[in-house]
Structure 1
C-alpha cells in the first residue's frame, strides 16, 4: 500500500464508502491553466496584501467589473429520464445551442463592503462604440515630416484609445474601446468613490479594475489613466487571470444562476408563501429588467461575505504558488 496503511484493499474500500464523508472516484474540478508569468504576479499580489486588514483596507476598495449574459446559451444540459445504456439514443440527447450575438447583454456594476452599486447596461449598438462586428483597425501613426515628439505621442494615444478590441468567435467579454469605457462606464465608478470621500474624507478609497485593455491599466498617459488621475483615484494593481481576486465575480455567479433558474422554472422554483414574480415575456428588454431585479435582491450580507474572504485568498495565493483558489462562495 502506498500510504503503508495496514489491511487489504477491499477492507479500505468498504470503510471509505461507509463513512459519513464518503471517499470515492469523482469527476475532478476543472480550473483554467494559469500562465507561469501570471502565477508569479498572483504570488506577488498575495505577499503584498495577505497581512492587510479587512477593516482599513479591503473594506475601502470599490471592486468593479463588466460582465455579459446570453439567454440563448445555457451552460447546463437538462436532465433526462432514461435507461442505463441508452445515453446516445436520439430521444436522450439534448441539443447544444450556440449563443446568438444579438442576445448578448452587457452589464457593469461595483461592490464595496458598505454598498452595492446599481446594475447598468451598455449597448453593442452605441454609435460611439466599436463592438462586434469590428472594422479593421487603422495602422499605428508614424512620424510626419518635421513633427514634434509631443504631437506624435498625442496621435499614438488617440489611436490606442479608439482602437477596436480584438474579436473572438465566441462573445466572452466586454469588447469595448478605452474611449468608450472612459466616457460611459468609468464615471459611475469615480462618482461612487467621490461619494465615499464625502462620507469620510479622512480615509483612502481605492478602485480595482481588471486588466482589460479598455481600462487603460497596461500603460500610462492614456485617456482612462488621465481621467482617473484628474479625479485623484487610487487604483489597486490587479494581476491577470485572477477573477478569484475580485469579489464582484462571486456576485455575477449569484446573479446568473438565479436569473437562469427564473427563466427556466419561473414561479415553480419559489417556496410556499413567496411572492409570485412576473414571468419572462421573451423580450430582451424584459430580460434586462429581470437581471436588475435579481441583482437588487442580492443582500449586503452576501456581498460582505465575499469581500471578507480577500485576506484568506491572498494568503492562499502565496501558499499555492499562484494557482486559482476556490471556496464555497466563489
Structure 2
C-alpha cells in the first residue's frame, strides 16, 4: 500500500470512526465492478516441499489465456442488495491515428533536393494507424455513465422513496480511476 493511500484510509477511518450502522452506515450504497477471465486460472497448484520450486517435476506450462471474460457489476447496502448482477461488455476496438509532426518548411539556403529529402523523412515519421484492443479490465467513463451509473442512481432513488429519511441515502463508488470520482466528467456530475 502506498503512503498516500494509507494516509487517505487513516483519514477516512478517523472521519467515520464514531458513526454507527444505525445513524450512518445503513444508508450507504456500495458499488463495485469485477472483471473475471476464467481461463487465466487454468494452471493448478502443486503441493511441494520447501526449496523445490524450480525442480523440473514442479514446473508447469501455462496454457494460452483465451476464453470468455465476464464483466459484472452490482451494489449492496445494510438492508438489501441488487436483485441480479449486471453483466456488461465495454470492449470496443478502435483505431488510433498517430499525431502528425509539423510539415517542414523550405529553408532559405536549402536546395530543392535537400528539401525533398527532408519531406521524405517527414513522411516516414508520420507512422501508421494503430488498432487498439481493450485490456478487458477497465471501462470508459462514457460507458459507465450510460450503462451502469443509471442502475445505481435508480437504486438510491427507490430507497429514498421508501424510507423515512430520504436525504440520508448516499452512493459510495469503488473509486475506479477510469470512471470514478477522481476523473472530471459526466460521472462526477451525475
Relative to structure 1, the CA distance from residue 91 to residue 54 in structure 2 (aligned partners, 3 Å threshold; closer, same or farther) is same
* Separation in structure 1 between the aligned mates of residue 74 and residue 163 of structure 2, nearest angstrom: 22
Q: Are 2:21 and 1:57 equivalent residues in the alignment?
A: no
Larger Rg: 2
CA contact (8 A) 2:28 2:77 kept: yes
Tell me, in whole angstroms, the C-alpha distance in 2 between the residues paired with 1:138 and 1:196: 48
Query: Residue 74 of structure 1 corresponds to which residue in structure 2?
Result: 41
C-alpha distance in 1 between matches for 2:98 and 2:189: 23
Aligned runs of 1:1-330 on 2, under 5 Å? 34-74=1-41, 77-79=44-46, 88-97=54-63, 99-100=65-66, 103-117=68-82, 118-125=84-91, 130=92, 133=93, 135-136=95-96, 171=136, 173=137, 175-203=138-166, 204-219=168-183, 222-227=185-190
Describe the superposition over 1:100-155 as per-residue Cα deviations: whole angstroms up to 9, x where unpaired.
3x522111001111112121111145xxxx4xx5543898xxxxxxxxxxxxxxxx
- The answer to whether the 8 A contact 2:142-2:186 is kept is yes
Greater helix fraction, Structure 1 or Structure 2: 1
- Name 1:231's counterpart in structure 2: none
CA distance in 2, matches of 1:74, 1:189: 31
Cα distance in 2, alignment partners of residues 46 and 98 from structure 1: 43
State the 1:76 CA deviation: 7.0
Question: Could you say which structure has the higher strand fraction?
Answer: 2
How many residue pairs are counted as aligned between the two chains?
A: 156
- Structure-2 residue corresponding to 1:271: none
Superposition TM-score, scaled by structure 2 size: 0.67
- Cα separation, partners in 2 of 1:78 and 1:58, compared to 1, 3 Å: same
Q: 2: distance between equivalents of 1:35 and 1:83? A: 34
Contact 1:107 1:121 in 2 (8 A): yes
Q: Distance in 1 between matches of 2:97 and 2:29?
A: 33
Alpha-carbon distance change, 83 to 184 in structure 1, aligned in 2, over 3 angstroms: closer
Quote the Cα distance in structure 2 between the aligned partners of 1:38 and 1:167.
30
Cα separation, 2, equivalents of 1:200 and 1:217: 26
Q: Is the 8 A contact 2:90 2:143 kept in 1?
A: no
Say if 1:89 and 1:63 are closer, same or farther in 2 by CA, change over 3 A.
Answer: same
Alpha-carbon distance, 1:78 to partner:
2.6
Q: Secondary structure at the match of 1:108?
A: strand
What SS class does the counterpart of residue 35 from structure 2 fall into?
strand
Say whether the 8 Å CA contact 2:72–2:87 is kept in structure 1: yes
2 CA distance for matches of 1:178 and 1:202?
Answer: 31
Deviations 1:238-258 (A, max 9, x none): xxxxxxxxxxxxxxxxxxxxx
